[in-house]
Structure 1
Amino acid sequence: MEQICPEQQCTACSACYNACPKQAISMVETGAVGYVHPRIDAAKCIDCKLCQKVCPVVNPVEKHAPLQAFAAICSEAEALDKSASGGAASTMARAIIEQGGVVYGCRMRSYTDIAHERFASVEDMCAMRGSKYVQSSIGTTFRQVKADLNAGLVVLFTGTACQIAGLRNYLRRSYDNLYCLDLVCHGVPSQKLLRDNVESMFRKKGLRPDGTERVTFRRIHSTQTSNLDLRYGTFVESAIPASGSPLPEAAQRFLRNTYITAFMYGLTFRDNCYHCPYACAARTADVTVADFWGYQGTVIPRGKGVSLIMPSTAKGQRLVEMVRPHMLMEERTVAEAVDGNGQLKRPSTCPPERAAFVSGYARQSDAVFAPLLRGYKRGYRLKQMRVNAISAIRRIPVVYPLLKYLYKRIKHRVG
């Protein structure tokens, strides 16, 4: 076997790696940018083609249309305060563990070690909390999941839709005791890009990381703004803006970090992310969790983030019922949930600068970002200034209704 699937379509789900009976496959970082792909050791390969049989690119998994949509937040104040967006995923994980089950999800031990892991206690499961704008390493967790399922344990596996597709194909049969929860994903940069960025900033400050430093990608309760924050070790890279800045602090903060800015622009995603077959309303998981962008209801307070919970199977609905006593929930229409989240309609757009990024990174590393992000930063700043101006006008009595009236009259005449 020379190639499992076309390299540009590979998601690095690791189903092939877990399935190979001869350990002939390794998941390796390729090129200067470091996207992970499977590599086959021809000396070990027996050409059984099991890797292709479990590959979701070669053999797509079945997807299911959403059955319901809920806006929700965890009703327990302490758990909600430690969650970034309503606490839906961690509440579901806790429910499974308290019933004697186990949970698999992504944890970050340090900026050099971001991987899926098995959790059997609520205390350990808390390591899953927090957004991680980077691809998680699956390792051998699919094999562990299968062993747990065969032992009769209830398992909740959380991950991106492509990771869940890989797990489903690896298992090659359905299990009544398996629940799958997918987190809506915009795309994933490589862990090498994150490592390079962290180490570059340490060098600029005359410091040397020891590999144990952790990264925080987003402040708690920031889901209603672009309040993205990248913190390294004992210092914060993204500085507070100067007094009188026309932009909110949140916008200035994330624009000052190349890794986060490039992520927001979609510049650093894997090739397959721009053609993602899972970026649609139909899902590979039993239940989907995301930020409920565009929430129009009045039941759920917005101050601490609002989770979208979207079951797509009867099992997903059962999981929703498990956590209902622990969450404040409001059923909304699926259309509202999908309309507010672009990743439930289409993949991220590939920026025109991406080819220059990939080819130039080998020569310039972190320095390659500055000219490629200049246009995005300019456009973002202008957009935020327009939003701020409109918000200011809305707070002025009489003026906003008058301008709105004049706008409608002009639009009617032009039309």
Structure 2
Amino acid sequence: MINIDNNNKKDCCGCTACSSVCPKSCITMTEDNEGFFYPVVDGNSCINCGLCEKVCPVKKEISQDSIQQAFVSRINDKEVLMNSSSGGAFTALSRFAINNGYTVYGGAYNECFDVVHDSAKTNEEAVKFRGSKYVQSYMGNTFKNIKKQLDKGDKVLFSGTPCQCAGLVSYLRKPYDNLVTVDFVCHAVPSPKVWKLYRDYLTKKYKSNIKSVNFRSKVYGYHCSSIKIDMENGKSQKMGLNTDMFLKSFFFNVSCRPSCYDCHFKTVDRMCDITVFDCWNITRFVPNKKDDDKGYSAVITHSEKGAKFFKQASTCLEVFDADLDTLIKYDGKYAVKSIDYTPKREEYFRLVNEGLPIDEVTKRVIPIKAKNKLMGKTKGFLHATGLMSLAQKLKK
């Protein structure tokens, strides 16, 4: 049976394949003191069938007869582009899917702004999937629901992190022609508990509930994307990774899931049909194309099914061929590389679990520098005058 304790948490990505496949429903995904979910087995009900271990994607070798093709793309809809994290490729995929009778699954906010996996059958519903969510989504019964649909002959497009896609494919235990899987190259997954503490901090700071969250707002351009949080009382906060305490805890690797420091799924070969990620260097692939700072999506297809699906969905996209190795080298670093572990992680979660306010935890472990605070306050002026764009060009 699956047995995850404090010594081997790095071997669990939290995908829910094991709890979903259990014939006795004796595995419960339980939140630990860091806010991550792990399987806990009821030994009295377990029949030792071994299915939970057989479907665990971390215990499997990633093997797929990949037929990889690489592209750079951008959606033609300007409104969708500006509200997408990069080039809007996933919206194109989901629109094509829904218009052709698929149910689309992906990460979305619930009414409390927790991130959960949800489904959509209309393009209006699927808007909730647009944009990055820098939190590990709660899967619930998603895998079970998808299997029921697939077995009935319904068509499904599933999107998620590489481990979630691998978990679904492993859980199903056989290929389905009516399933298309899309994963996203991710830095890592931060703690839902830290995300909640951060939301509580903002609610108290602004004396208002949160109205909307955009982890990758293009208010200062694609290359300088910021987290933008609007409150119900009309106030808002716009900060970057060096000035926002949640983003800094994420990108400085102190709030991430243990398995992310040695990720089993950081490889070009994937257990999915399509991979989507940021393209930061459009001029490397299309030399005569001006980088207008609005974003492009990198896309890799891994199967004949994925290649066909992307081609059919790309009628609303501007698409350019790209060299796979070059795309990975310059824009897909975290497709093949795990994040670096930092000893500060232990101190960070120790202080969090001692009940220290999240802003105080940040000050002690990953303090925000004065120069970054100053830069954050002048971002609006620098962007409006074009000085920010000039600085980025000089940096390149």
The 1:394/1:286 distance shift into structure 2, 3 A limit, reads closer
Partner in structure 2 of residue 348 of structure 1: 339
Partner in structure 2 of residue 337 of structure 1: 327
Determine which of 25, 28, 47 is the counterpart of 2:27: 25
Partner in structure 2 of residue 322 of structure 1: 312
Q: Aligned letter for 1:215?
A: V
Partner in structure 1 of residue 297 of structure 2: 307
The 1:157/1:394 distance shift into structure 2, 3 A limit, reads closer
> In 2, Cα distance between the equivalents of 1:393 and 1:20?
52
> In 1, Cα distance between the equivalents of 2:393 and 2:273?
42
Q: CA deviation at 1:279?
A: 1.9
Secondary structure in structure 1 of the residue aligned to 2:145? helix
Determine which of 251, 254, 257 is the counterpart of 1:270: 257
> In 1, Cα distance between the equivalents of 2:211 and 2:391?
40
Deviations 1:142-169 (A, max 9, x none): 1111111111122111000000110011
The 1:377/1:13 distance shift into structure 2, 3 A limit, reads farther
The 1:352/1:71 distance shift into structure 2, 3 A limit, reads same
Ranges in structure 1 where 5+ consecutive residues have no aligned partner: 240-249, 401-415
Determine which of 276, 279, 288 is the counterpart of 2:275: 288
The 1:350/1:319 distance shift into structure 2, 3 A limit, reads same
Deviations 1:88-124 (A, max 9, x none): 0111011011111111111112344321112111111
Identity level (%): 29
Bigger drift between 37-46 and 216-225 goes to: 216-225
Partner in structure 2 of residue 228 of structure 1: 227
Write out aligned runs for 1:12-411 (5 A).
Answer: 12-31=14-33, 33-63=34-64, 67-207=68-208, 209=209, 213-220=211-218, 222-234=221-233, 236=235, 238=237, 251=240, 254-295=241-282, 296=284, 297=286, 298-299=288-289, 302-340=292-330, 341-363=332-354, 364-366=356-358, 367-374=360-367, 377=369, 391=390
The 1:302/1:344 distance shift into structure 2, 3 A limit, reads farther
User: Normalising by the residue count of structure 1, what TM-score does the alignment of the two structures yield?
Assistant: 0.82
Q: CA deviation at 1:272?
A: 0.5
* Contact persistence 2:243–2:373 (CA under 8 A): no
User: Normalising by the residue count of structure 2, what TM-score does the alignment of the two structures yield?
Assistant: 0.86
> In 1, Cα distance between the equivalents of 2:139 and 2:267?
23
Q: CA deviation at 1:345?
A: 2.8
The 1:100/1:300 distance shift into structure 2, 3 A limit, reads farther
* Contact persistence 1:215–1:233 (CA under 8 A): no
Q: CA deviation at 1:349?
A: 1.1
Ranges in structure 2 where 5+ consecutive residues have no aligned partner: 379-386
Across the aligned residues of Structure 1 and Structure 2, the Cα RMSD in angstroms comes to 3.0
Whichever of the two has the greater Rg, that structure is: 1
> In 2, Cα distance between the equivalents of 1:3 and 1:157?
28
Q: Aligned letter for 1:319?
A: F
The 1:336/1:14 distance shift into structure 2, 3 A limit, reads same
* Contact persistence 1:217–1:231 (CA under 8 A): no
Q: Aligned letter for 2:242?
A: L
Partner in structure 2 of residue 11 of structure 1: 13
Q: Aligned letter for 2:188?
A: G
Q: Aligned letter for 1:71?
A: V
Q: CA deviation at 1:236?
A: 4.8
Q: Aligned letter for 2:22?
A: C
